[in-house]
């Protein structure tokens, strides 16, 4: 029952974001960076305020095994929704940087952008799960795919290793 409630609110926020992005530019790729951030993070912060009482109660009881499992499931459900929205936007931004910037500038811009996205995602996660936000492993299902599946990130990691 809790899972269904959390999932319904998160999916509702995702649908609102998709509708807002669609009406403001047609596709994720054409939405400006400021608009995308405000649309995504404002809608999900509103969802956080709806879920906050339930999630705080689950976090407060997380010392018990059944609540630990429910909390882990809520973390997973949470991470899936923004990831489905943010992944395409991040890939598009990095591609845009790659088309117009030289390698040193691309590296700086790309890393700065990915760090900004990760910071925003952590802040948003903190709105949903204030007691869990210090445990970065809970956020890994959302952040890791942005770094690992991004060709730019792999290039940066390879460059760092080769230059070391």
Residue 134 φ/ψ, nearest 5 degrees: -75, -20
8 Å CB contact between 2 and 70: yes
Average pLDDT, the chain: 80
Give the Cα separation of 3 and 7 in Å (integer): 6
pLDDT 10s digits, 52-99: 999 999 999 999 999 999 999 999 999 888 888 888 888 788 788 888
Q: What is the number of other CB atoms lying within 10 angstroms of the CB of residue 144?
A: 12
8 Å CB contact between 79 and 139: yes
Give the Cα separation of 41 and 13 in Å (integer): 10
Tokens for 138, please give them.
């809970």
Q: What integer pLDDT is reported at residue 29 of this predicted model?
A: 45
pLDDT 10s digits, 142-162: 766 666 555 555 555 545 544
Give the Cα separation of 30 and 135 in Å (integer): 34
CA-derived radius of gyration, the chain: 17
**Whole-structure pTM value:** 0.77
């Amino acid at each position: 029952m809790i899972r269904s409630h959390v999932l319904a609110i998160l999916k509702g926020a995702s649908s609102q974001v998709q509708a807002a992005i669609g009406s403001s530019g047609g596709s994720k790729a054409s939405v400006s960076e400021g608009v995308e951030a405000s649309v995504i993070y404002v809608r999900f912060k509103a969802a956080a305020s709806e879920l906050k009482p339930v999630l705080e109660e689950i976090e407060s009881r997380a010392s018990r095994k059944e609540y630990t499992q429910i909390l882990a499931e809520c973390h997973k459900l949470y991470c899936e929704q923004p990831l489905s929205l943010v992944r395409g936007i991040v890939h598009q931004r990095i591609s845009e940087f790659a088309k117009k910037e030289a390698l040193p500038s691309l590296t700086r811009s790309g890393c700065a952008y990915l760090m900004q996205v990760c910071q925003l995602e952590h802040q948003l996660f903190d709105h949903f799960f204030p007691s869990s936000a210090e445990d970065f492993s809970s956020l890994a299902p959302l952040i890791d795919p942005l770094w690992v599946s991004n060709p730019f990130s792999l290039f940066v990691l390879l460059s760092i290793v080769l230059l070391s």
